[in-house]
Amino acid sequence: MSAETTLPDYSLPEEQVPMFFPEVLAESDVAALKEEIAGLLKARNAVLVAHYYVDGHVQDLAEETGGCVSDSLEMARFGRDHDAPTLVVAGVRFMGESAKILSPDKQVVMPTLAAECSLDLGCPPDEFEAFCKANPDRTVVVYANTSAKVKALSDWVVTSSVALPIVESLDAKGEKILWAPDKHLGRYIQHQTGADMLLWSGACVVHEEFKSKALFDLKAVYPDAGVLVHPESPAAVIDIADAVGSTSQILAAARDLPHEMFIVATDRGLFHKLRQRNPDKRFIEAPTAGDGATCRSCAHCPWMAMNELSKVAEVLRDESAMRDKEIRIDPDIAKRAMVPLQRMLDFPR
Ligand code: SF4
């Protein structure tokens, strides 16, 4: 059974999506910046934790310096379990906030605090609180792509890698769910589990742009290609997929499925790892709106793109920059947000 929301559309308007053109560096500059950052990480006793969508050089550097590259769930775990007192989180703000909530005694800095997420921006805490109050009989499940304030209002936090089994288990206990903020992921989970889910109406500006008709056309050109889709994409795109899943699950599918070529519907930052790990396979981007060449149609998150090598170096160079770009969360909100976040981490996998 499902319930339809009467909420307004919380997709981010085009004008609120920044245009961002990542820096283009000569190989020698890349090498020099990487060497400098590696030295600074050591000097500051810091570790670099990067998401799969950020610049490939930053991903490589994280691995080369003993940090990690992963999805948001593993980023949170890694940051919590690492003994470095300072975490440099290359991703978007909610990832820095999750790291801080789980490691309140650590300093968590980001290359830029301007790295937002359309899902987070499309779920204002006050309006979300009113939605929760209007539906008190529902278990509140929020996607990790939300602010600490929204997490503090929830019963469960989930990432795309664990959303399905967690909702399944809640449904098995007869719980009705209030889901936020991604409507496409919510609908996908609702469809898979049959759970009673009331959906917020946010969307990811990157994944919402994948187009099913153009994907069908591309499949006709490459009939042997497998299709890998992130569940933040529209239902009609998900319907064409050979595998649907989080970034980690897409990487696993690319490794395990027999296809030699894949069409991939997720942020193109993931192609760095897909190609590194599968040098004999070919990966092509699923089509987006394309022709207009707006920031929405480039299959790359403008906020993730802000995590450039030069910004990682900048934040580590002097202590005042580190203080300026430090994640700070009201301790009471952090304490409340920790409860649903911890529930997710404790969920048996
Ligand atoms: S890709 Fe989408 S969901 Fe991920 S950070 Fe960017 S806007 Fe948010």
CB atoms within 10 A of CB 242: 14
Candidate of 20, 304, 306, 307 to mutate for ligand 1, largest count of ligand atoms within 8 Å of Cβ:
304
Nearest alpha carbon, ligand 1 atom 2: 204
Nearest alpha carbon, ligand 1 atom 6: 301
Nearest CA among 94, 116, 128 for reference residue 8: 128
Judging by beta carbons within 10 Å of its beta carbon (0-12, 13-18, 19+), is residue 190 exposed, middle or buried?
A: buried
Q: How far is CA 115 from CA 46, 98, 175, 222, 304, in A?
A: 20, 14, 35, 35, 6
Distance between CA atoms of residues 203 and 291, nearest Å: 21
Find the farthest-apart pair of alpha carbons in the chain and give their distance in angstroms, rounded.
59
How far from the centroid of its chain's Cα atoms is residue 214's Cα?
25
Residues 6+ apart with CB under 8 A from 95: 51, 72, 75, 76, 89, 144
At 131 the pLDDT is 97
Nearest alpha carbon, ligand 1 atom 1: 301
Residue 27's identity, in one-letter code, is E
Topology match between the domains 20-115+303-330 and 119-204+336-346: yes
Ligand 1: distance of its center to the CA of 39 in Å?
A: 30
Nearest alpha carbon, ligand 1 atom 3: 204
Question: What single-letter DSSP state applies at residue 305?
Answer: G
CB atoms within 10 A of CB 19: 8
Tokens, residue 141 = 């499940």
Sequence ranges of the domains in the chain: 20-115+303-330, 119-204+336-346, 207-297
Question: What single-letter DSSP state applies at residue 286?
Answer: P
Just give the CATH number of 20-115+303-330.
Answer: 3.40.50.10800
Q: Which residues of the chain have pLDDT under 70?
A: 1-6, 289-297
Q: Which atom from ligand 1 is nearest to the alpha carbon of 91? A: 5
Ligand 1: distance of its center to the CA of 303 in Å?
A: 8
Contact status, residue 334 vs residue 102, Cβ threshold 8 Å: no
Q: What CATH architecture is 207-297?
A: 3-Layer(aba) Sandwich (3.40)
Phi, psi angle pair for 259, to nearest 5°: -60, 150
Residue 112's identity, in one-letter code, is T
Q: Which atom from ligand 1 is nearest to the alpha carbon of 117? A: 8
Q: Which atom from ligand 1 is nearest to the alpha carbon of 182? A: 3
Ligand 1: distance of its center to the CA of 117 in Å?
A: 5
**Runs of H (alpha helix) within the chain:** 27-43, 56-64, 72-81, 93-102, 118-121, 125-134, 148-152, 163-172, 183-193, 212-221, 235-238, 247-256, 271-277, 309-317, 319-324, 331-346
At 15 the pLDDT is 82
Measure the CA angle with vertex 79, ends 83 and 152; round to 5°: 130
Q: What CATH architecture is 119-204+336-346?
A: 3-Layer(aba) Sandwich (3.40)
Question: What single-letter DSSP state applies at residue 3?
Answer: B
Ligand 1: distance of its center to the CA of 76 in Å?
A: 16
Measure the CA angle with vertex 328, ends 325 and 332; round to 5°: 175
Phi, psi angle pair for 68, to nearest 5°: -145, 155
Q: Which atom from ligand 1 is nearest to the alpha carbon of 303? A: 6
Nearest alpha carbon, ligand 1 atom 8: 117
Lining residues, ligand 1, CB within 6 Å: 92, 117-119, 145, 204-206, 232, 267, 301, 303-304
Contact status, residue 327 vs residue 92, Cβ threshold 8 Å: no
Question: What single-letter DSSP state applies at residue 91?
Answer: S
Q: Which atom from ligand 1 is nearest to the alpha carbon of 118? A: 7
Q: Which atom from ligand 1 is nearest to the alpha carbon of 53? A: 1
Ligand 1: distance of its center to the CA of 73 in Å?
A: 14
Q: Which atom from ligand 1 is nearest to the alpha carbon of 94? A: 5
Candidate of 14, 121, 145 to mutate for ligand 1, largest count of ligand atoms within 8 Å of Cβ:
145
